[in-house]
Amino acid sequence: MTDMVNTTTTSGPRTAEAGLITRFFRATEIDTRLLGMVGALLIIWIGFHFMTGGLFLTPRNLWNLSVQTTDIAIMTTGMVLVIVTRNIDLSVGSMLGLCAMIMGVMQAKVLPELIGFDNSATWFITLIVGIAAGALIGCFQGLIIAFLNVPSFIVTLGGLLVWRGATWLVTSGQTVAPMDQTFRIMGGGAEGSIGATWSWIVGIIACLFVIGGILNARRQRKRFGFPQRPVWAEYFLVILSCVLILGAIWIANSYYWPINIARRYAEANNIPWPETGLDIPYGIAVPVLITIVVGIVMTFISTRLRFGRYVFAIGGNPEAAELAGIKTRWVTVRIFTLMGILCAIAGAISTARLNAATNAQGTLDELYTIAAAVIGGTSLAGGTGTIAGAMLGALVMQSLQSGMVLAHVDTPLQSIVVGAVLVVAVWLDTVYRARAK
């Protein structure tokens, strides 16, 4: 009897605590899986901060980390849709390299002969040509997969080899440089950042959008008679979102231009050089803004448009989607076309950041892109995945890579860690799906 009383007494607070936590997550509707990824990311950051002697969690490294993540983050938004439909794209790294080389040749060799050097339209024409090339490559692969019934694994594995070889053939293996000055803005750096004032403006606008989105969702739920979140949960989500946004802006504004760049800027603009130096904040990098816009657009496509619903319907049950009248083959073609466009955008950012187009661009990016999508909760079995989760997965992958470089981990060991993380992510996805049944 005593044992029974003790057991009941000790389990009571635990049950109440578990019930409180459960009610909190139900009220706020926070995705626990996404929250787990955030927790894992914080553990990685704190761990590397101690391993690197305090170098990781600094404004400089976090700013560079955000810029370095952009390529994979952009491509992984498209990889989510590819994997959701039970396909795979192993050619994204090679497509990035080919599109980057085409854009490099356009602005360094072709356009100067047609419209002259330093033409204001060079960057725009280059970007359009690169995006068109990516769309054509993706569409070509999608047509083979959809209408010739060749498995996507084989088609894109062939594409990995073909497009990488085509990259070399464009210039016979030569590196193309330099890039157009306006085009380089997409790569970040001192000229490719918007500064402190505009960063705060962007942050405030983002907070207003968050508040407006939550209020609109509440009105829509009331309109259609759906259950609403408690008012305190709405306030909590607004405060949490705004703190995270403004905190990221503060970190970006805490990283200043190097003294030599600041001095040249002061001389060019006739600004007196103070004895203490001139602190000019970088602010948000342009490639980070581009990535955020791509993420918002891809989220809208996948959750608000009919095309997005078709994608998830095909992933959930291809036969049922076909019987429901969905043109599954053309949806597949559009998915791979979209994937090619995203690879071209990522290639433009990569080329702008390097100020050159090289044959090595995009090498192994297919591994990191797929790993980011899987880590972000996209199931290889199809039918499940989120754009936000995949982009967070890209940040996790880049954090691992950047942290290991700062910690002076050997390159072979870095590959071992990345491979192990991918396997563990797939295993966790299998466990999660098994428990969800």
Segment 177-187, tens digit of pLDDT: 889 999 999 99
Please tell me the distance from the alpha carbon of residue 428 to that of residue 199, in angstroms, as a whole number.
37
DSSP output for 123-167: HHHHHHHHHHHHHHHHHHHHHHHHHS---HHHHHHHHHHHHHHHH
pTM of the complete model: 0.91
Q: How confident is the model at residue 191 (pLDDT cuts 50, 70, 90)?
A: confident
CB 422 within 8 A of CB 374: yes
Please tell me the distance from the alpha carbon of residue 279 to that of residue 85, in angstroms, as a whole number.
49
Average confidence (pLDDT) over 58-69: 94
Among 7-11, 141-145, 278-282, top mean pLDDT goes to: 141-145
- Give the pLDDT score at 333: 97
Please tell me the distance from the alpha carbon of residue 317 to that of residue 40, in angstroms, as a whole number.
32
CB 343 within 8 A of CB 350: no
Please count the CA atoms within 13 angstroms of the CA of 332 that sit on its side-chain side.
26
**DSSP-derived 3-state class of residue 69:** coil
- Give the pLDDT score at 4: 45
Radius of gyration of the chain (CA): 24
Q: What percent of the chain has pLDDT over 90?
A: 63
pLDDT at residue 9 tops 50:
no
Helix 92-105 to helix 328-354 angle (10° resolution) is 50
Domain ranges of the chain: 31-188+285-436, 194-281
* Cβ neighbours of 149 (radius 10 Å): 8
Q: What are phi and psi of 168, to 5 degrees?
A: -70, -40
Question: b/e for 192-214, b at 16 or more Cβ within 10 A?
Answer: bbbbbeebbebbeebbeebeeeb
CB 100 within 8 A of CB 362: yes
Close Cβ partners of 266 (under 8 Å, ≥ 6 residues apart): 272, 273, 278
- Tens digits of residue pLDDT in 369-382: 998 998 888 988 88
- Give the pLDDT score at 277: 77
- Give the pLDDT score at 261: 86
CB 81 within 8 A of CB 436: no
- Give the pLDDT score at 13: 56
Instruction: Supply 170's token pair.
Output: 């464009």
- Give the pLDDT score at 276: 75
Average confidence (pLDDT) over 160-187: 92
Q: What are phi and psi of 176, to 5 degrees?
A: -110, 125
Place of tokens 């073609």: 333
Average confidence (pLDDT) over 127-146: 97
Q: How confident is the model at residue 36 (pLDDT cuts 50, 70, 90)?
A: confident
- Give the pLDDT score at 11: 53
pLDDT at residue 16 tops 60:
no
Instruction: Supply 92's token pair.
Output: 């994204």
DSSP output for 257-296: --HHHHHHHHHHTT----TT----B-BSBHHHHHHHHHHH
Torsion of CA 422, 424, 428, 434, to 10 degrees: 100
Would you give the DSSP letter of residue 382? S
Q: How confident is the model at residue 3 (pLDDT cuts 50, 70, 90)?
A: very low
* Residue 425: C-alpha distances to residues 79, 364, 368, 407 (Å): 16, 18, 13, 23
- Tens digits of residue pLDDT in 115-126: 888 888 999 999
**DSSP-derived 3-state class of residue 380:** coil
Respond yes or no on whether the N-terminal peptide bond of residue 412 is cis (omega within 30° of 0): no
- Tens digits of residue pLDDT in 222-254: 888 888 888 899 999 999 999 999 999 999 999
- Give the pLDDT score at 12: 54
CA angle, residues 139, 140, 144, in degrees to nearest 5: 110
- Give the pLDDT score at 25: 81
- Tens digits of residue pLDDT in 325-351: 999 999 999 999 999 999 999 999 999
Range of lowest pLDDT (9-13, 141-145, 317-321, 394-398)? 9-13
Instruction: Supply 6's token pair.
Output: 């003790």
* Residue 288: strand pairing partners: none
Q: How confident is the model at residue 88 (pLDDT cuts 50, 70, 90)?
A: very high
